[in-house]
Amino acid sequence: MLELRVLGEPEMSASSLKVSAAGFIQVPFVDEDIRAQCLTERELSAVISDRLKKHLKYPEVHVGVKEYNSIPVSIIGAVNQPGRFRMERRVSLLELITFAGGVKTESGKAVTLVRQSAEVQCDQGRVVVADVEQDMVEVISLKSLLQGESAQNPMMRPGDIVIVPVADVFYVAGDVPRPNSFVLREGMTFTQALAQAGGPHQQPSVAASGSSVRVPARIVRPSRST
C-alpha cells in the first residue's frame, strides 16, 4: 500500500494506493495504470509527476510506502512451529526459522529451499521474469546458517518452501540402561553412540592376568535395495 501526496493539490493526492498483483497502481487524474514494481519511491514519484504535467505545470509529488504486501512463505519438517507464514516485509532464511520456533534437536545437517520456476526480479528498474523448466532446489548447510554465514542465508521470496529434514537415527538395544533410538550426528563413533544409551550394563573388567575382558556388541546395518 502506497501513500501519494501532491503538494497543494489534495484532490490529486491519495492516502492509500493499492499495488496490484501485477505491480501496478491507479493514480487520480491519470488515465492509464502506472507500474510501481521495481521502482524506488523517488523513481515512482518522478513517473507520476511526469504524468500529472498534463494537469499541472510543476507538480511536486511525494510517494511513500504505507504498508507492505504480505509475502507468503512456508516451512515444514523438523522445526518447532511448521506452517505457512505471511511476512509483512522481506525476511532472511534464518529469520524465518526463528519465526518457526527454531529447529528441533533431531533436525538434519542441511536445509532444502524450493523456489518457484517463474521468478520476478528487478534489474535497474526493469521487471525481469526468469522462467525455467522446473522449480529450483537449493541445499543449505544448517551449521553454516546458524554460524551467521551470509552466503548461506538467502532472502525469502514469495512462494518459497523451506524443508528442514529429520536427521538419520540409529538404535541401541540389548543390555543397556536406555535402549532407544538416537540422532546420528556427523562423525559419531561407535563408542559415542553406545554412550547415548548409557553404556553397557556389563562393564569391561580386568582379568587376573591383566588382560581386559570384552563386552560383546555388534552393529547391525539395514540392507539397502539397489
> Binning pLDDT at 50, 70 and 90, where does residue 212 land?
very low
The confidence score (pLDDT) of residue 169 equals 79
> Binning pLDDT at 50, 70 and 90, where does residue 31 land?
very high
The confidence score (pLDDT) of residue 165 equals 92
**Residue pair 42/55 in contact by the 8 Å Cβ criterion:** no
The confidence score (pLDDT) of residue 59 equals 95
3-class secondary structure, 80:
coil
The confidence score (pLDDT) of residue 71 equals 79
pLDDT tens sequence across 95-154: 999 999 999 988 988 999 998 765 555 655 565 555 555 678 899 999 999 998 989 999
The confidence score (pLDDT) of residue 130 equals 55
Domains of the chain: residue spans and CATH: 2-65 (3.30.1950.10), 71-164 (3.10.560.10), 169-203 (no CATH)
The confidence score (pLDDT) of residue 2 equals 92
The confidence score (pLDDT) of residue 131 equals 53
3-class secondary structure, 142:
helix
Q: 205-213 contacts: CB < 8 A, separation 24 or more?
A: none
Query: What number is the average pLDDT over the span 38-42?
Result: 88
Residue 210 has pLDDT above 70, yes or no: no
Which ranges of the chain would DSSP assign to H, the alpha helix? 41-52, 93-99, 142-146, 190-196
**Residue pair 17/45 in contact by the 8 Å Cβ criterion:** no
> Binning pLDDT at 50, 70 and 90, where does residue 213 land?
very low
CA distances from 150 to 94, 144, 145 (A): 10, 9, 8
Half-sphere exposure in the Cβ direction for 40 (13 Å, CA): 4
Residue 200 has pLDDT above 90, yes or no: no
The confidence score (pLDDT) of residue 118 equals 57
The confidence score (pLDDT) of residue 121 equals 59
Mean pLDDT score across all residues of the chain: 83
More confident residue, 107 or 223: 107
- Rounded CA-CA distance 69/95 in Å is 18
> Binning pLDDT at 50, 70 and 90, where does residue 28 land?
very high
Query: What number is the average pLDDT over the span 76-100?
Result: 92
Q: Is the dihedral of CA 98, 100, 105, 110 positive or negative?
A: negative
As given in the structure block, the three cell numbers for residue 128 are 525481469
**Prediction pTM value:** 0.56
The confidence score (pLDDT) of residue 128 equals 55
Residue 172 has pLDDT above 80, yes or no: yes
More confident residue, 186 or 171: 171
CA distances from 71 to 66, 84, 105, 119 (A): 16, 10, 28, 14
